[in-house]
Chains A and B, each alone.
Chain A
Amino acid sequence: MRGAKIIVVFVYILFLMLPIYWLLNMSFKTTNEILGGFSWYPQQFTLDSYITIFTDPTWYSGYINSISYVLMNTVISVSLALPAAYAFSRYRFMGDKHLFFWLLSNRMAPPAVFVLPFVELYSAMNLFDTTLAVALAHCLFNVPLAVWILEGFMSGVPREVDETAYIDGYSFPHFFVKIFMPLIAAGIGVTAFFCFMFSWVEMLLAKNLTSVAAKPIVAVMTRTASTAGYELGLLAAAGALTLIPGVIVIWFVRKHIAKGFALGRV
Chain B
Amino acid sequence: MTVKPVNQKAWLLVLPVLLIVALNAIIPLMTVVNYSLQDTFSPGVFFYEGTKWYQDVLSSPRFHGALGRQFLFTGIILLIEIPLGVAVALAMPRKGPWVSVCLVLMALPLLIPWNVVGAMWNIFALPDIGLLGYGLNWLGFDYNYTQQPVAAWFTVVLMDVWHWTSLVVLLAYAGLSSIPDAYYQAAKIDGASAFAVLRYIQLPKMKRVLIIALLLRFMDSFMIYTEPFVLTGGGPGNSTTFLSIDLVKAAIGEFNLGIAAAMSILYFLMTLLVCWVFYTAMMRGDES
The interface on chain A, measured as residues whose beta carbon lies within 8 A of the other chain's beta carbons, has a size of 96
Q: Give the complex CA separation of A34 and B124 in angstroms.
A: 12
Say yes or no: is B167 at the interface (Cβ < 8 Å to chain A).
yes
Say yes or no: is B60 at the interface (Cβ < 8 Å to chain A).
no
Of B8, B169, B223, which one neighbours A94 at CB under 8 angstroms? B8
The answer on a CB contact under 8 Å between B112 and A242 is yes
The answer on a CB contact under 8 Å between A221 and B108 is no
Say yes or no: is B17 at the interface (Cβ < 8 Å to chain A).
yes
Please give me the residue from chain B that is nearest to A197 by CB atom.
Answer: B111
Which residues does chain B contribute within 8 Å of A261, judged by CB atoms? 167, 170-171, 212, 216
The answer on a CB contact under 8 Å between B10 and A90 is yes
Which residues does chain A contribute within 8 Å of B79, judged by CB atoms? none
Most buried by B among A112, A236, A247, A266: A112
Say yes or no: is B91 at the interface (Cβ < 8 Å to chain A).
yes
The answer on a CB contact under 8 Å between B174 and A266 is yes
Say yes or no: is B73 at the interface (Cβ < 8 Å to chain A).
no
- Known contacts A91-B6, A265-B212, A104 near B279 by CB under 8 Å: yes
Closest beta carbon of chain A to B129's beta carbon, Å: 6
Of B17, B31, B121, which one neighbours A120 at CB under 8 angstroms? B31
Say yes or no: is B53 at the interface (Cβ < 8 Å to chain A).
no
Stretch from B97-105, B140-148, B184-192 at the A interface: B97-105
What does the 1/0 interface line of A194-205 toward B look like (CB < 8 Å)? 000100111110
Say yes or no: is A235 at the interface (Cβ < 8 Å to chain B).
yes
Complex interface residues of chain B between 216 and 268 (CB less than 8 A to chain A): 216, 219, 222-223, 225-226, 230, 243-245, 247-248, 251-252, 257, 260, 264, 267-268
- Known contacts A22-B131, A250-B111, A121 near B31 by CB under 8 Å: yes
Please give me the residue from chain B that is nearest to A225 by CB atom.
Answer: B119
- Known contacts A83-B13, A92-B7, A114-B28, A99 near B18 by CB under 8 Å: yes
Complex interface residues of chain B between 1 and 50 (CB less than 8 A to chain A): 2-11, 13-14, 16-18, 20-21, 23-25, 27-29, 31-32
Say yes or no: is A57 at the interface (Cβ < 8 Å to chain B).
no
Complex interface residues of chain B between 97 and 146 (CB less than 8 A to chain A): 100, 102-116, 119-121, 123-124, 128-132, 134
Q: Give the complex CA separation of A123 and B3 in angstroms.
A: 46
The answer on a CB contact under 8 Å between B286 and A265 is yes
Please give me the residue from chain A that is nearest to B173 by CB atom.
Answer: A258
Which residues does chain A contribute within 8 Å of B243, judged by CB atoms? 110, 112
Closest beta carbon of chain A to B281's beta carbon, Å: 12
Say yes or no: is A53 at the interface (Cβ < 8 Å to chain B).
no
- Known contacts A109-B268, A201-B111, A232-B123, A38 near B134 by CB under 8 Å: yes
Which residues does chain B contribute within 8 Å of A115, judged by CB atoms? 248, 251-252
The answer on a CB contact under 8 Å between A262 and B120 is no
> What are 13 A-B residue pairs whose CB atoms fall within 8 Å in the complex?
A5-B93, A12-B88, A13-B106, A92-B6, A108-B223, A116-B32, A118-B28, A139-B20, A202-B113, A202-B114, A251-B104, A261-B170, A262-B209
On B, residues with C-beta under 8 Å from A are: 2-11, 13-14, 16-18, 20-21, 23-25, 27-29, 31-32, 87-88, 90-93, 100, 102-116, 119-121, 123-124, 128-132, 134, 162, 165-167, 169-171, 173-175, 178, 194, 208-209, 212, 216, 219, 222-223, 225-226, 230, 243-245, 247-248, 251-252, 257, 260, 264, 267-268, 271-272, 274-276, 278-279, 282, 285-286
Q: List 3 tightest A-B contacts by C-beta distance, closest first.
A: A246-B111, A258-B174, A117-B28
Given A88-B14, A105-B275, output 13 extra A-B contacts at Cβ < 8 Å.
A5-B91, A9-B93, A12-B88, A16-B108, A84-B16, A108-B278, A118-B28, A120-B31, A136-B23, A139-B24, A236-B123, A258-B173, A266-B178
